[in-house]
């Protein structure tokens, strides 16, 4: 089982939705990973951003973790639609994301 499959299974176990669209394949025919969505992603939740991406998107940091494959640090964060993202901590802290005041 790949580490991506293990993460998806963990999120399913914790109550997050994790289903690929239709048959799970993109337009190119390759298998796509599931989209991880917070269960509280419904309209009206108390979601508040903590960071802005250099391209303008707003995100909230959920926490930090360790990638099992190589023990590197990662940041878990989400967007207002409830999609959960994982990014290498070095990339997250290299200026791509700017902390918001009060965030």
Residue 21: is its pLDDT beyond 50? no
- The mean pLDDT value of the chain amounts to 77
Q: Beta-carbon neighbour count of residue 20 at 10 Å? A: 14
What's the pLDDT band for 95 if we cut at 50, 70, 90?
very high
Query: Cα separations (Å) of 40 from 35, 76, 78?
Result: 15, 16, 12
The answer to whether residues 12 and 18 touch, using CB atoms and an 8 Å cutoff, is yes
Domain limits, the chain: 1-37, 39-103
Residues near 75 by beta carbon (within 8 Å), at least 6 away in sequence: 61, 63, 64, 65, 86, 87, 88, 89, 92, 93
Residue 67: is its pLDDT beyond 80? yes
Q: Select from 2.40.10, 2.40.170, 1.10.3470, 2.60.40 the CATH code of 39-103.
A: 2.40.10
Alpha-carbon distance of 2 to 8, in angstroms, equals 10
Q: How far apart are the first and last CA of the chain?
A: 36
pTM of the full structure: 0.63
Question: For residue 47, what are its two tokens?
Answer: 């979601």
Residue 75: is its pLDDT beyond 80? yes
């Amino acid at each position: 089982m790949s580490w991506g499959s293990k993460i998806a299974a963990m999120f399913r176990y914790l109550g997050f939705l994790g289903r690929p669209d239709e048959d799970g394949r993109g337009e190119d025919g390759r298998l796509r990973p599931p989209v991880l969505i917070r269960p509280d992603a419904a309209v009206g939740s108390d979601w508040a951003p903590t960071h802005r991406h250099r391209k303008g998107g707003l995100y909230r940091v959920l926490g930090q973790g360790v990638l099992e494959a190589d023990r590197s640090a990662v940041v878990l964060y989400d967007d207002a639609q409830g999609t959960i993202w994982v990014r290498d901590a070095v990339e997250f802290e290299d200026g791509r994301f700017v902390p918001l005041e009060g965030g």
